[in-house]
Amino acid sequence: MKAEYVIVGAGSAGCALAYRLAGAGRRVIVIEHGGSDAGPFIQMPGALSYPMNMARYDWGYRTEPEPHLGGRQLACPRGKVIGGSSSINGMIYVRGHARDFDHWRDQGADGWGYADVLPYFKRMENWHDGGHGGDPSWRGTDGPLHVTRGARANPLVQAFVEAGVQAGYPATADYNGYRQEGFGPFDMTVWKGRRWSAASAYLKPALRHETCTLVRAFARRVVIEDGRATGVEVTRKGRTEVIGAEAEVILAASAINSPKLLMLSGIGPAAHLAEHGIAVVADRPGVGGNLQDHLELYIQMAAKLPVSLYKYWNMVGKAWVGLQWLLARRGPGASNQFESAGFIRSRAGVDYPDIQYHFLPLAVRYDGQTAAEGHGFQAHVGPMRSVSRGRVSLRNADPAEAPKILFNYMSDESDWRDFRKAIRLTREIFAQDAFKPYVRHEIQPGAAVQSDAALDEFIREHVESAYHPCGTCRMGRADDRDTVVDPQARVIGVTGLRVADSSVFPRITNGNLNAPSIMVGEKVSDHILGRDPLPPENVQPWMHPDWQGAQR
């Protein structure tokens, strides 16, 4: 079994690669360990808390005991299904800020500045503003990825934006367009009431080309002969076999599994590989390093009025929501319920937003457990650019073993300062007049938790991953020892091998990672096909005119 191109991972970037390569007439095999995305748990947006907690759809990774979080082991879900994590995520669509990509470029990822990547964001999008505003000239309208907005009918969703404005922040009609900073409507990858994952947008259309094949198998390592990647060793139906690549192997297996596969193939820190008896093909110390994520807290409020989604949080309510969705793809089940966003700067001197809000008109955890208080609402909040860095490493040389994942969360004092500030700024927003009719009291952290020490204790016990791992196969200049891939995503030290997923991010972007991960697949497809990149768009997004002197 062989093709010109073998893609490992049918996730966000892998699906986009398959679509573009197959569309150009190339013969492509996509290897995916997970199975079908059929069924209501994945397809119903309102059921998003289920698939990421199901072993059928999730790799089930957990971190090593995190030393700065009291030894807690945090969940690190990754999609094990067609569509990858885009089939189990919260469906939130955030490109990232223009300055994120300019930073990539300045760190050595030439050709990945905002002017370079904006045309790819436009190419992939089919944006529907839902009547909530925004300038369409910043958005794409005929790409495969449908991006929509929720109905925003719940009064709490409106109150959150009003409170942000009352607190002195701007409103923004489109944080993915000219102006990220401020409060406004969220974009989501939902279309006609269904999750619109990378599998729906890219993989299923790609498979309609006779040149594209999906193979369900477990990738063990890349086969490298005389310094060239020639295939992928897999376990399929209980047997080990090699799927051959005539031109290239492309790893798109996630920020956890792509570095794992490189190391199992002999590409990584030489001493670490030798420790596990793996022959070194290319000594690249950066493989597995530079691991980053977003952490967040839920600031939860109890509501005076029965306006939250809690009214559906019982057997009858859930049955009603499910029935509406099954019959007509309508009702609360047709939205991820994250319908209002906020992006703010934590203090004067920060040039672009470093705090993100996800507002939810329900007090609930990611695992689906609601607050005991009944009706309530919450803001998910956390800093966007933590300086803490971790590493993915091998537990041993057995491909079936999960890798060791240590994010080293909160290892820098600035992370604690930024989190305390985020909590206090959130409380200030919830204290505005717009929330006066709704707020009964603060559930968590709780009104008594005020001092730095008390806030730090709350953070240590309650902070959770936002599930945005990235950075472990960093893109940059070939002469940088910590770089893993060059600006065309080619693995340094081996020919015929690329990495294209969130692991190539030099630094984490501002917001959720699904959109920039798909963008990486889109852009790398042009590099693979030898096409000129799309012409850069030198536009100037909004920056606070007095960011040096004012926090808002």
Q: Point out the annotated binding site for FAD.
A: 81
Of how many residues is the chain composed?
Answer: 552
**Rounded to whole angstroms, how far apart are CA atoms 379 and 359?**
4
Q: What are the tokens at 405?
A: 């994942």
The reply to whether 468 belongs to the active site is: yes
Residue ranges for the known binding site are 81
CB 199 within 8 A of CB 30: no
Phi then psi for 475, rounded to 5 degrees? -90, 140
Q: Nearest 5 degrees, angle CA 95-CA 98-CA 104?
A: 95
CB 419 within 8 A of CB 463: yes
Write down the catalytic residue from 33, 209, 468, 544. 468
Q: H/E/C letters for each residue in 96-139?
A: CCHHHHHHHHHCCCCCCCHHHHHHHHHHHEEECCCCCCCCHHHC
Q: Nearest 5 degrees, angle CA 394-CA 229-CA 242?
A: 80
CB 201 within 8 A of CB 15: yes
Q: Nearest 5 degrees, angle CA 349-CA 447-CA 459?
A: 55
CB 124 within 8 A of CB 518: yes
Residue 18: which of 188, 189, 208 has the closest Cα? 208
SS3 208: coil
**Rounded to whole angstroms, how far apart are CA atoms 510 and 195?**
23
CB 61 within 8 A of CB 405: yes
DSSP E strands, 271-420: 282-283, 295-303, 340-344, 355-360, 376-383, 391-393, 404-406
Q: What are the tokens at 91?
A: 């469906």
**Rounded to whole angstroms, how far apart are CA atoms 550 and 552?**
6
Task: Specify which residues 3 forms β-bridges with.
Answer: 245
* Cα–Cα distance list, 399 to 218, 255, 370, 496 (Å): 9, 16, 38, 22
Enter the DSSP assignment of 141. Answer: B
- Give the count of alpha carbons within 13 A of 232, CB side only: 35
Dihedral, CA of residue 26, residue 29, residue 35 and residue 39, to nearest 10 = 10
Phi then psi for 537, rounded to 5 degrees? -115, 105
CB 245 within 8 A of CB 494: no
Active site residues: 468
